[in-house]
């Protein structure tokens, strides 16, 4: 059974081959004496088929939505035909724009931290904070917001030097992208670009949908199935053409004046080489075994500070120098290069510590 089918196919192929041969030879070899009637019919049919194929190709080309008929003056016959046919063809919806309201997802992050009710702990932490603050006021000065804004700065919203800021967001699973984009679009100092990064995220498609829905050429989506981990965003920052980069964790929603304030401070003579942020840590004293004690180490004055810290009612109303920043980093584009002077101990975790 199998063999017979094979041989039958073979015969068909042979037959086709022979008829093609005949067509070819009948064209090239005019001295060929006689043509049989069936072979002429086959030649005719083949020619018609060939002609139709060419015609169909033209037609398809001219009817494709991406071809602008007005710019093609030649082939007017084909154009006319295509035009008349186009009416009958249902155009596929090429641009299906999704509105933000459809693409966006929101989640509220519970920032309410456990409040300590340990009187002694509150006392210890607040004393340590005041000690640090007093020292900084004495040695380098620690301005509050109003004082900072009165300082002379190279940058201003009103010009002549309006800073360009590239904001880099990094998303993995949280549904906070829209909240971030909305607040960034509402800044008193407009951003230059936003790069939304998604490395090895299971929600990549949804992030892309959201970015697309904003239809803003300044907002780009960059994704990879490879997880560049905590360093990826800082590596991307190396390539910005802005004056500043502002790198934000996915749980940080900036207030409307943040870019204006940060760039103003970064433009003062005093803070021009600083990395600015809104959450910081002051490292604890090292123990005898060379380890750092836990921040929550009970009744220890040496366990360092997390600023601001709602657990111990520590608010920060002036600029404070810390050992390292967490959750957001505002720095001049040139400074990003210095992050790579030392080889990181690991890429897996601890970007806060590496980037201090
Ligand atoms: C936008 O910013 C203004 C202040 O500049 C604020 O009053 C308003 O609530 C903000 N809107 C949103 C949607 O964040
Ligand atoms: C997207 O933005 C472009 C440029 O501003 C505009 O021409 C276009 O109509 C927008 N598309 C949608 C679907 O809103």
Residue to mutate, 100, 182, 186, 260, ligand 1, most ligand atoms under 8 Å from C-beta:
186
How high is the pLDDT of residue 54?
A: 41
Please give the number of the atom of ligand 2 that sits closest to the Cα of 95.
13
Residue 310 to residue 306: CA distance in whole angstroms: 9
CA angle 259, 186, 260 (to 5 degrees): 20
Please give the number of the atom of ligand 1 that sits closest to the Cα of 188.
5
Does residue 215 have its Cβ closer than 6 Å to ligand 2? Answer: yes
Cis peptide before 308 (omega within 30 of 0): yes
Burial (CB < 10 A; 0-12, 13-18, 19+), residue 212, is middle
Task: Answer yes or no: are the C-beta atoms of 187 and 77 closer than 8 Å.
Answer: no
- List CB contacts of 216: < 8 A, sequence separation 6 or more: 185
Residues with CB under 6 A from ligand 1: 182-183, 186, 188, 256
Helix (H, G, I), strand (E, B), or coil: what is residue 151?
A: coil
Which one of 17-21, 34-38, 61-65, 136-140 scores highest in mean pLDDT?
Answer: 136-140
- Helix (H) and strand (E) counts in the chain: 12, 8
**Ligand 2 center to 209 CA (angstroms):** 15
- List CB contacts of 101: < 8 A, sequence separation 6 or more: none
How high is the pLDDT of residue 15?
A: 43
Q: Look-up: residue for tokens 């709602």? A: 310
Number of alpha carbons in the 13 Å side-chain half-sphere of residue 300: 15
Does residue 97 have its Cβ closer than 6 Å to ligand 2? Answer: yes
- Facing residues of 193 across strands? 166
Question: Which ligand does the CA of 255 lie closest to?
Answer: 1
Neighbour tally for 43: CB within 10 Å: 18
How high is the pLDDT of residue 162?
A: 96
Task: Answer yes or no: are the C-beta atoms of 180 and 106 closer than 8 Å.
Answer: no
Helix (H, G, I), strand (E, B), or coil: what is residue 111?
A: coil
Does residue 99 have its Cβ closer than 6 Å to ligand 2? Answer: no
Least confident window among 19-33, 83-97, 239-253, 289-303:
19-33
- Facing residues of 194 across strands? 167, 219
**Ligand 2 center to 255 CA (angstroms):** 27
Helix (H, G, I), strand (E, B), or coil: what is residue 262?
A: helix
Mean pLDDT for 337-354 is 69
Check pLDDT > 50 for residue 181.
yes
Q: What is the spatial order of strands in the sheet that 324-326 belongs to?
A: 305-307, 279-282, 324-326
The closest of 155, 228, 219, 224 to 193, measured between CA atoms, is 219
The closest of 108, 102, 93, 106 to 215, measured between CA atoms, is 102
Helix (H, G, I), strand (E, B), or coil: what is residue 244?
A: strand
List, in order of start, the domains of the chain with CATH numbers.
Answer: 119-354 (3.90.550.10)
Q: Look-up: residue for tokens 């007005």? A: 70
Least confident window among 57-66, 175-184, 209-218, 298-307:
57-66
How high is the pLDDT of residue 84?
A: 56
Residue 283 to residue 265: CA distance in whole angstroms: 24
Residue to mutate, 93, 215, 217, 218, ligand 2, most ligand atoms under 8 Å from C-beta:
215
Mind listing the pLDDT tens digit for each residue in 97-153? 677 777 888 887 766 667 888 888 888 888 999 999 999 999 999 999 999 999 999
What is residue 17's DSSP assignment? Answer: H
Residue 32 to residue 27: CA distance in whole angstroms: 10
Alpha-carbon dihedral sign for residues 194, 197, 202, 204: positive
In terms of pLDDT, which residue wins out, 162 or 70?
162
Residue 165 to residue 29: CA distance in whole angstroms: 75
Cis peptide before 160 (omega within 30 of 0): yes
Strands (E), the chain: 165-170, 193-199, 219-224, 244-248, 279-282, 305-307, 324-326, 328-332
**Ligand 1 center to 184 CA (angstroms):** 10
Helix (H, G, I), strand (E, B), or coil: what is residue 248?
A: strand
Mind listing the pLDDT tens digit for each residue in 246-297? 999 999 999 999 999 999 999 999 999 999 999 998 888 777 777 777 766 7
How high is the pLDDT of residue 72?
A: 45
**pTM of the complete model beyond 0.95:** no
How high is the pLDDT of residue 80?
A: 58
Question: Which ligand does the CA of 99 lie closest to?
Answer: 2
In terms of pLDDT, which residue wins out, 4 or 329?
329
In terms of pLDDT, which residue wins out, 303 or 260?
260
Residue 145 to residue 220: CA distance in whole angstroms: 32
In terms of pLDDT, which residue wins out, 5 or 43?
43
Residue 248 to residue 177: CA distance in whole angstroms: 11
């Amino acid at each position: 059974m199998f063999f017979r089918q094979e041989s039958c196919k073979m015969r068909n192929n042979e037959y086709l081959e022979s008829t093609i041969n005949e067509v070819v030879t009948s064209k090239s070899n005019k001295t060929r004496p006689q043509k049989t009637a069936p072979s002429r019919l086959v030649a005719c049919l083949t020619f018609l088929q060939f002609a139709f194929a060419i015609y169909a190709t033209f037609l398809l080309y001219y009817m494709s939505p991406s071809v602008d008929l007005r710019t093609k003056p030649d082939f007017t016959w084909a154009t006319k035909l295509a035009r008349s046919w186009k009416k009958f063809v249902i155009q596929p919806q090429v641009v299906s724009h999704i509105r933000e309201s459809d693409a966006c997802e929101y989640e509220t992050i519970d920032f309410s931290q456990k409040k300590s009710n340990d009187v002694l702990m509150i006392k210890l932490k607040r004393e340590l904070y005041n000690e640090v603050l007093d020292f900084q006021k004495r040695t380098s000065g620690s301005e509050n917001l109003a004082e900072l804004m009165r300082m002379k700065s190279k940058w201003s919203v009103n010009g002549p030097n309006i800073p360009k800021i590239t904001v880099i967001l990094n998303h993995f699973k949280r549904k906070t992208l829209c909240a971030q984009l909305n607040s960034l679009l509402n800044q008193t100092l407009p951003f230059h670009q936003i790069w939304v990064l998604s490395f090895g995220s299971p929600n990549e498609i949804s992030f892309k949908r959201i970015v697309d829905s904003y239809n803003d050429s300044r907002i780009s989506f960059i994704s990879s199935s490879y997880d560049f981990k905590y360093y990826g965003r800082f590596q991307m920052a190396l390539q910005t053409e802005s004056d500043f980069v502002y790198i934000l964790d996915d749980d940080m929603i900036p207030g409307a004046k943040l870019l204006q304030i940060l760039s103003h401070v970064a433009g003062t003579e005093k803070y021009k080489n600083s990395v600015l942020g809104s959450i910081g840590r002051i490292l604890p004293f090292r123990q005898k075994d060379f380890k750092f004690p836990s921040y929550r180490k009970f009744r220890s004055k040496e366990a360092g500070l997390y600023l601001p810290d709602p657990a111990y009612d520590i608010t920060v109303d002036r600029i404070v120098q810390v050992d390292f920043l967490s959750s957001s980093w505002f720095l001049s584009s040139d400074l990003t290069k210095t992050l790579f002077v030392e080889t990181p101990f690991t890429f897996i975790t601890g970007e806060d510590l590496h980037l201090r």
